[in-house]
Chain A
Amino acid sequence: MTLTVAVLTWALPLAATIVPWARARARGTGVALAAAGIASLAAAITLAVLVNAGHPLRMLDGFVYVDPLSAFFVVTVALVVALTGLGSYSYLRTEHERGELTLLQVRLYGTFFALFAAMMLMALQTGNLGLLWVLVEASTLASAVLVALEARATSLEAAWKYIIISSFGVTIALVGTVFVFYSAISLHVSPDQRLTWPTLFAHVGLLQAPSLRLGFLLVLIGYGTKVGLAPMHTWLPDAHAEAPGPASAMLSAALLNTGMYAIIRFQALTTAQLGRYANDVLLVFGFASVVIGALFMIQCENFKRLFAYSSIEHMGLIAIGLGFGGLLGIYGALLQTFNHAIGKSVLFLTSGEIVLRYKTRNVVEVRGLLRQSPVIGGALLLGSLAIVGSPPFGVFLSEFTIVRASFAGHAWLGFFLLALLVIAFVALTSTTVGMVFGRPPEDGVAAPGMTSRVIGTSPLVPGLGLLLLLGVWIPGGLNELILQSIKAIT
């Protein structure tokens, strides 16, 4: 039962990869993506319920391994896939009807979007660290096609940078994985078990400290490139800015989290063996990311880049939460992961809709959104307030938990963190409220046909509703899942 559900989560998107080639056009491809996403989400939630009820899945020598932490990330990613699948429908139909995308591009998008999703969902369900690496690399390659899809000079450049830098990073992660494998040399288990996380975690005291330490550092740098931790984040703003809206949302809300998932696995091993060492390293990268993210958000002229820098900031926050550790820190980090995934999906889907209408990514050319389209303007306003951590949205609760963890750790770091959050708040909201309010530009007429398309806004309302709900009430199931996840890695 658990296995069937687990397989369904990634098999459904995988099945959707062939739909575009079965004579489907933009509409069919979009429907397939949205349906696969929603079905996958249903499977993921079922999986989480089953795992939470005490049936962790471990098969094929640990190649299939789903514990509460995996289930938590599977739910997060599947939720993002469902939201962006809905967004893809609107994107594909609009751009295809306008002739901006050829049928081949539509089909490429459909295939690689679904493949991207499937690879990530698979990566989250394996206990083998080598296979994890392979799947993360595969998801990178699939997503690079999405970044380059619109085939402008800038998007090709962004995709190129993305591949070069990510591959470089992922290579370092591979070296790190090898070192971790080497640290388990004295374990009396079969060689493939030396890369199996549950086995390693069960015998963590026998791992050799020096190679584990070096392995963790390299893995952190390698997967940190994927996550967008500074200073390995350099590919992120370009790729997020150039990708189509739903693909940006997938990159920011799903791919970064998958990388963070890998880091959490390695961190759990290192912390169990070496104490706070791994935490301190995470804190350094976390604060570097928040500083870079916050400072680059100031006066950013491209709103998609702005949200990309916000993602760097949020990944830094999650790293900080993990770095401070303890119940508060890890709980805050995981909750932040979930909230950020929803919030960033909403923001990137909204910005995708804005790009479709205004055909610009430039902040100053977008004015008076609320007047032109109350739903898009409202989503941008509420989404950006939510993402900067304003109550009554969920992000506030997780950020406050992380802040409490930092005051419990080092109070002066807590002050520093709050100062950075204020800078990020002001930088992001000052930009977006300028787009939402004011008088619409005289000549900036909305593209015809777009305002009437309800489906384009369909992921925004449930996304924001969920964030609002999480801001006032954390469902018991989610709370339990996070607590079980913490138990699984400590």
Chain B
Amino acid sequence: MTAAAAILLLCAAALWLTSALVAVLARARPGLVSCTAGSAAGGALALAGGILTALNGASASRTIGGGDVVGAVTVRLSPLAAAFVALLGLIALAVGLFAPGYHRPGAGSAFYLCAYNLALLASLGVLVAGNAVVFLVAWESMTIFSYLLILRYHQRPGVMAGGFLFLALGELGFALVVAAFAILSVKTGTLDLAVMAARGHAIPGAWRSAAFVLALIGFGFKAGVVPLHIWLPEAHPVAPADGSGFLSGLIIKLGVYGVMLFAFQLLAGGPMWWGVLTTLIGCVTATIGVLYAVIERDFKRLLAYHSIENIGIIMTAVGAAMMFRSGHQPALSAYLMVAAIYHVVNHGTYKTLLFLEAGVVEHVTGTRDLDRLGGLARRLPKSSVITLIGTLGIAGLPPLNGFVSEWLIFQGLFQGFRIQPLAGVVLVVAGAALALSGGLAVMAFAHAFGIAFLGIPRSRAAANAREAGQPVAGPALLAVACVALSVGAPAVLIALSRVAQAVTGVRLRPDMLIGNLTIIPAHQNFAAFSPTYLAVFMVAVSAVPVLIYLASRAGARSRTVPVWDGGMLKFKPDMQYTGTAFANPVRVTFGQLYQPEFHIERASDDPAGRSGPVNYEFRVLPLFQRYLYDPVVAAVRWLARFVRPLQSGDVNLYLLYIFIVVVIAYVIHLIESY
């Protein structure tokens, strides 16, 4: 099985590399189609390879070259990475199906598709790296290629700035990861990850903690953890739709993978505060992320903020797993690890779906501003059904997959009383924070879907939207995957429990399932549920009114009348509830966080309603940028200005420097001599 998985992944890598070359060499339509087909086929292979590796539950590594000083080129199939590989494959497959309908042939698309396929390859490299150097090379290559794919529309406003923020903060995070790996390699005397993990216990505690914190922050930059997230809402929306989907669906998950790699493998078993720190970061990330998402008007930025929220949920689960491990509850720790990976896969699936659909909406209407959309359900019927599935998934509503994994995480957090009291309190707080963010997420997506797809069009562009020619297969595949991940939850758990067993050595399975379809998540004496029966039940219940309607329709006479409009002469689009209005309660409640600036312009001073057009704008304070990043940038710039006079252009001064250095050297020499 290992050999089969390795061959599948090798073929996937070869296909992606070939597709990257094809994209550049053949820029006409056939080249574009074969490039995306190759990338989709590679995705299918990677999906299969990832699932095989997870089921296999054993890791295998092979060194294929490299020097003895700089580092060997070692690749490794590891169960921990298996779910991420499968997710990578799924996303590549869906995006590959979506891309030919979305991109037009040309130099720009060729450049983009080349970068995209290389980014796929580099992501696979991160997941199969068996050596710190291979990991780092793949990691930063992934950042570079992702940066290039963000720049697809580099002539549009905001793209260069957003892309550069991605690159610069990516580099900052990368430097921290480099430091973490440098510490580990120096202290263990090896670059091989497996050997490093085996010798990890011998490292002195302070260095272990230093390496963990560096890795947490470094990978946190990539994952988009608050307050390291500021690049995410700038960079993800400006990429092409499929690029955004790939970035939000996969790349930020690799940050989670990095944290898990350090927490569960390289430095397995740390002090309690590691877990507490991770959990608290997760809670803050989830809450802040969703609070910014709720008030967002730009569809893609809203999705980007939701990625931050979901990263927070995943990090909370990862942190809780670490806390249970430190609190001597290995079974609960393994269980929460499973839940975290499950949520990674779920979020990757529906977030990619939603970004692809956001791309479709942007394509047909030319805007991402929710307050200019509306009524798309009737104009884009397929897209709206697919988007609805994704929306239900991301909002964590039953019976879709988001609900399953979030519920599993909640069940785990409720077991906090089994470890020492103070740490248990952290888990209670975490549960509360996730509950709050879950509620707000429902609101945000009621907002997003309701404003964009329901009602009547708010602009001519939205009214003229047509679905014909828009890609359907890719998002539809992801919608099917969302349903499958929910209905097939027991199968997913079987696969993931093998992963957990390989990583932690804990066997979860016999206690977790009753009669194959019912899950007992955390503990025997707690709740149990079956996503499969739930889905069947909910579908059945919602079918009842339809059946009643169909049954009664036979005899009854139907009449068609206008919607009740409250006595207005004509129902105008402006009378609908806007997204801004929808989110206003939240904006008022959390005004301290947003500190919004309002600009209201009226045509006249008459009371509202008779004043003619009113221009209403508000801007949210970029809190983290202003108080965290700007001071650092300003300090570095100040330093640069401070040293500038050194290079004044005066040769006498230059010679003086050398003279001073000679004098100092001579003085040092004299001191040393005595």
A binding-site residues for B, Cβ under 8 Å: 160-161, 164-165, 168-169, 172, 210, 213-214, 217-218, 221, 225, 231-232, 234-235, 237-238, 277, 292, 295-296, 298-299, 327-328, 331, 335, 374, 385, 390-392, 396-398, 400-401, 403-404, 407-408, 411, 414-415, 418-419, 421-423, 425-426, 429-430, 433-434, 437-439, 471-474, 479, 483
Contacts and interface: CB of A to CB of B under 8 A. Distances in A.
B167 interface: yes
The 6 closest A-B pairs by CB, nearest first: A234-B654, A298-B640, A391-B137, A217-B665, A437-B154, A407-B182
Interface string B631-663: 000001101100110110101001101101110
Contacts of B515: none
Nearest to A478: B67
Contacts of B167: 429, 433
B581 to A, nearest CB: 38
Nearest to B65: A473
Interface stretch (B88-96, B172-180, B289-297, B541-549): B172-180
Contact of B155 (A161, A234, A328, A439): A439
Contacts of A437: 151, 154-155, 160
A479 B140 contact: no
Contacts of B183: 407, 411
Contacts of B651: 160-161, 164-165
A59 to B, nearest CB: 32
Contacts of B673: 210, 213
B198 interface: no
Given A335-B70, A419-B175, 11 more contacts: A160-B651, A169-B658, A232-B657, A292-B646, A392-B137, A407-B179, A407-B186, A411-B186, A415-B179, A429-B164, A479-B69
A221 B69 contact: no
A214 B658 contact: no
A165 to B, nearest CB: 6
Contacts of A425: 168, 171
A348 B539 CA distance: 66
Q: How large is the interface on B (under 10, 10 to 19, 20 to 34, 35 or more residues)?
A: 35 or more
Given A296-B647, A438-B155, A391 B70 contact: no
Contact of B136 (A160, A214, A391): A391
Given A392-B137, A473-B66, A221 B160 contact: no
A474 B185 CA distance: 20
B672 A400 contact: no
Chain B facing A: main interface SS: helix
A385 B144 contact: yes
B504 interface: no
B178 A433 contact: no
A433 B164 contact: yes
B69 A331 contact: yes
Given A165-B651, A404-B182, A298 B67 contact: no
Interface of B: 65-67, 69-71, 73, 107, 133, 136-141, 144, 151, 154-155, 160, 163-164, 167-168, 171-172, 175-176, 178-179, 182-183, 185-186, 636-637, 639-640, 643-644, 646-647, 649, 651, 654-655, 657-658, 660-662, 665-666, 668-669, 672-673
A87 B127 CA distance: 41
Contacts of B179: 403, 407, 414-415, 418
A218 B171 contact: no
B67 A474 contact: yes
B661 A426 contact: no
B398 to A, nearest CB: 44
6 contacts: A296-B647, A397-B133, A407-B179, A429-B164, A430-B164, A473-B65
B207 to A, nearest CB: 8
Contacts of B69: 327-328, 331, 401, 479, 483
Given A292-B646, A400-B136, A401-B69, A426 B168 contact: yes
Contacts of B655: 164-165, 168
A438 B186 contact: no
Given A422-B172, A437-B151, A437-B154, A231 B646 contact: yes
Contacts of B646: 231, 292
B393 to A, nearest CB: 35
A298 to B, nearest CB: 4
Contacts of B647: 234, 237, 296
Given A165-B654, A232-B661, A391 B144 contact: yes
Nearest to A374: B107
A324 to B, nearest CB: 11
Nearest to A399: B178
A174 to B, nearest CB: 13
Contact of B639 (A221, A295, A385): A295
A277 B668 CA distance: 11
A115 B442 CA distance: 74
A149 B389 CA distance: 69
Contacts of A421: 175
A296 B640 contact: yes
A479 B70 CA distance: 9
Contact of A400 (B133, B138, B151, B186): B133
B643 A418 contact: no
A339 B586 CA distance: 55
A426 B168 CA distance: 6
Nearest to B655: A168
Contacts of A385: 144
Contact of B658 (A172, A392, A396, A426): A172
Contacts of B666: 214, 217
A474 B70 contact: yes
Contacts of B140: 390-391, 396
B175 A422 contact: yes
Contact of B137 (A411, A471, A474): A471
A213 B186 CA distance: 31
Contacts of B661: 221, 231-232
Given A331-B70, A392-B141, A404-B185, A225 B658 contact: yes
Contacts of A237: 647
A30 to B, nearest CB: 30
Contacts of A418: 175-176, 178-179
A391 B139 CA distance: 8
Contacts of A415: 179
Contacts of B668: 217
A403 B182 contact: yes
Given A232-B657, A418-B178, A426 B171 contact: yes
A473 B71 CA distance: 10
A168 B65 CA distance: 48
Nearest to A437: B154
Given A296-B647, A331-B70, A430 B168 contact: yes
Nearest to A426: B168
Nearest to B652: A164
Contact of B665 (A218, A327, A419, A479): A218
Contacts of B175: 418-419, 421-422
